[in-house]
């Protein structure tokens, strides 16, 4: 059912829902628009309304081909709405869910677009703070680019900042989506442009692998991995592309590339990636039926979230997005000793297709087989030299987690 939003807009049809509100296909004086209507409890929060108005200039000022422009902010009675350019297409999460993994050329083209959009925002002093596939829209009416990808546009600029009120988050709470949170946010530092680069590198890894580098299990475990673990190389990834990802996932924000440089370096790689098929990486969930030590180690024994792929609670307490994409967390900043974690990494290490997952029953069985084979080989050798002593070969190393030593709107009819 159509409804009026302020005096100039009409919302006609729901396009989608997120944790902060509902996005409508609407009509304004200049034609079709997308209208993000914030949830009523947010709209009645006077402090938030004040910030909304305060941020007006920054939000309305962003104009770039790879940014979904905010055209208007409406504060009207109980309605608090962002009026945006309408993108006819789909979001990147939907595409990734459909395809599981993208070919490197398409993934890099999409991420290069987003990096260019971020570069414009950062130059204007705006940090996005919630870069993730849900916030990248693919414009199906735009021209096809490298890898057959449509132009990608970053949306939801400034929304995380608006909703992240100091009252809710002062020094003790983290707002964001756990899989994409830079370590410095988890350590309680203020978010600067480099947090968007970390999140975007996480998105690139996810597009290539089909899963994020530090995700999986309880949100607390995810946060700890961001701070303490290093990313494990993806089998078959071109070295230069891998080095870019590693650099942008650096724990130290100053070591990451700037958005403009990341965009340029990614575009340089496009010709080399042309025609390359998606990476042959096994999903860490493909052996989900087996007990998963990584989850068991870090989650509360009875916590129902322990097995969610992307751990999450709503952005705002009480939020219940009716899409099944719970994507935000609002939790306290962990203490340093909690972040230090255990001696063993719990991140889901990528494997070439067919290789068993570290810690899985199949991996343990193959480690056992290796131990037996080594034992037998040892026995034969010993017998051959007539010593007659049995040497037991310890297989503990086989169970260790591998470490990287280098680094530590519907389309219109």
What is the per-residue binding string for ligand ATP in 33-62, x denoting contact by CB under 6 A?
Answer: -x-x--------------------------
**Of 84 and 259, which has the nearer Cβ to ligand ATP?**
84
Determine the residue with CB nearest ligand ATP. Answer: 18
| Active-site residue (options: 91, 130, 139, 326) | 130
Closest CA to 73 of 81, 64, 84, 85: 81
* Residue 406: CB minimum distance to ligand ATP, A: 33
What is the per-residue binding string for ligand ATP in 267-306, x denoting contact by CB under 6 A?
Answer: ----------------------------------------
Determine, following the binding rule CB under 6 A, whether residue 134 of this chain makes contact with ligand ATP.
yes
Sequence-distant (6+) residues with CB within 8 A of 27 are 9, 10, 12, 33
Determine, following the binding rule CB under 6 A, whether residue 199 of this chain makes contact with ligand ATP.
no
**Of 156 and 196, which has the nearer Cβ to ligand ATP?**
156
* Residue 64: CB minimum distance to ligand ATP, A: 14
Q: How far is CA 385 from CA 79, 307, 372, 389, in A?
A: 86, 52, 20, 10
**Of 163 and 266, which has the nearer Cβ to ligand ATP?**
163
Determine, following the binding rule CB under 6 A, whether residue 91 of this chain makes contact with ligand ATP.
yes
Query: With CB under 6 A as the contact rule, which of the stretches 13-21, 189-197, 256-264, 266-274 interacts with ligand ATP?
Result: 13-21
Instruction: Give me the half-sphere count of Cα atoms (radius 13 Å) on the Cβ side of residue 191.
Output: 27
Answer for which of 43, 70, 80, 87 binds ligand ATP (CB under 6 A) is: 87
β-strand pairing of 136-139 with 152-154 = antiparallel
Per rule CB under 6 A, count of chain residues that contact ligand ATP: 25
Answer for which of 68, 199, 232, 246 binds ligand ATP (CB under 6 A) is: 68
**Of 137 and 185, which has the nearer Cβ to ligand ATP?**
137
Answer for which of 149, 155, 212, 230 binds ligand ATP (CB under 6 A) is: 155
* Residue 87: CB minimum distance to ligand ATP, A: 4
SS3 173: strand
CA distance 56 to 222: 34
Determine, following the binding rule CB under 6 A, whether residue 114 of this chain makes contact with ligand ATP.
no
Note whether 64 and 117 are within 8 A (CB): yes
CA distance 380 to 377: 5
| C-beta atoms surrounding 276 within 10 Å | 17
Closest CA to 158 of 204, 186, 122: 122
Strand partners for 154: 67, 136
Answer for which of 5, 11, 23, 175 binds ligand ATP (CB under 6 A) is: 23
**Of 323 and 408, which has the nearer Cβ to ligand ATP?**
323
CA distance 362 to 352: 14
| Residue 399 is among the residues annotated as catalytic for this protein | no
Sequence-distant (6+) residues with CB within 8 A of 220 are 298, 331, 334, 338
**Of 34 and 193, which has the nearer Cβ to ligand ATP?**
34
Sequence-distant (6+) residues with CB within 8 A of 125 are 58
Determine, following the binding rule CB under 6 A, whether residue 139 of this chain makes contact with ligand ATP.
no
Q: What are phi and psi of 8, to 5 degrees?
A: -110, -10
Closest CA to 237 of 229, 249, 225, 245: 245
CA distance 389 to 170: 65
Query: With CB under 6 A as the contact rule, which of the stretches 263-271, 301-309, 319-327, 341-349 interacts with ligand ATP?
Result: 319-327
Give the binding site for ligand ATP (CB under 6 A).
15-21, 23, 34, 36, 68, 84-87, 91, 134-135, 137, 155-156, 321, 325, 327, 409
| Catalytically active residues, by annotation | 130
């Amino acid at each position: 059912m159509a409804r009026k939003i302020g005096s100039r807009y009409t919302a006609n049809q729901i396009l989608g829902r997120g944790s902060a509100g509902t996005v409508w296909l609407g009509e304004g004086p200049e034609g079709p628009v997308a209208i993000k209507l914030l949830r009523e409890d947010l709209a009645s929060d006077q402090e938030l309304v004040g910030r909304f108005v305060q941020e007006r200039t920054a939000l309305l000022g962003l104009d770039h081909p790879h940014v979904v422009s905010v055209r208007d902010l409406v504060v009207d009675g109980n309605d608090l709405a962002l009026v945006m350019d309408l993108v006819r297409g789909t979001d990147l999460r939907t595409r990734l869910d459909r395809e599981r993994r993208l070919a490197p050329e398409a993934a890099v083209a999409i991420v290069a677009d987003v990096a260019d959009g971020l570069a414009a925002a950062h130059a204007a002093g705006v940090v996005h703070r919630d870069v993730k596939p849900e916030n990248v829209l693919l414009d199906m009416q735009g021209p096809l680019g490298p890898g057959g990808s449509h132009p990608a546009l970053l949306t939801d600029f400034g929304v995380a900042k608006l909703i992240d009120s100091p009252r809710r988050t002062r020094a003790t709470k983290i707002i964001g989506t756990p899989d994409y949170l830079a370590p410095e946010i988890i350590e309680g530092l203020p978010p600067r442009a480099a947090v968007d680069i970390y999140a975007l590198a996480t998105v690139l890894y996810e597009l290539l692998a089909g899963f994020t580098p530090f995700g999986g299990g309880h949100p607390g475990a995810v946060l700890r991995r961001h701070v303490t673990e290093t990313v494990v190389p993806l089998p078959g990834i071109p070295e230069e592309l891998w080095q870019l990802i590693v650099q942008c996932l650096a724990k130290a924000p100053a070591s990451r590339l700037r958005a403009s440089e990341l965009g340029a370096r990614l575009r340089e790689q496009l010709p080399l990636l042309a025609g390359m098929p998606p990476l042959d990486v096994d999903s860490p969930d493909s052996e989900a039926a087996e007990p998963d030590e990584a989850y068991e180690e870090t989650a509360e024994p009875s916590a129902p979230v322990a097995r969610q792929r992307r751990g999450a609670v709503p952005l705002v307490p009480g939020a219940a997005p009716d899409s099944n994409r719970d994507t935000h967390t609002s939790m306290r900043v962990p203490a340093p000793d909690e972040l230090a974690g255990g001696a063993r990494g719990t991140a889901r290490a990528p494997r070439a297709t067919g290789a068993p997952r570290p810690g899985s029953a199949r991996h343990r069985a193959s480690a056992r087989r290796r131990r037996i084979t080594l034992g037998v080989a040892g026995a034969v050798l010993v017998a051959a030299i007539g010593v007659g002593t049995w040497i037991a070969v310890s297989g503990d190393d086989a169970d260790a987690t591998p470490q990287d030593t280098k680094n530590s709107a519907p389309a219109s009819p």
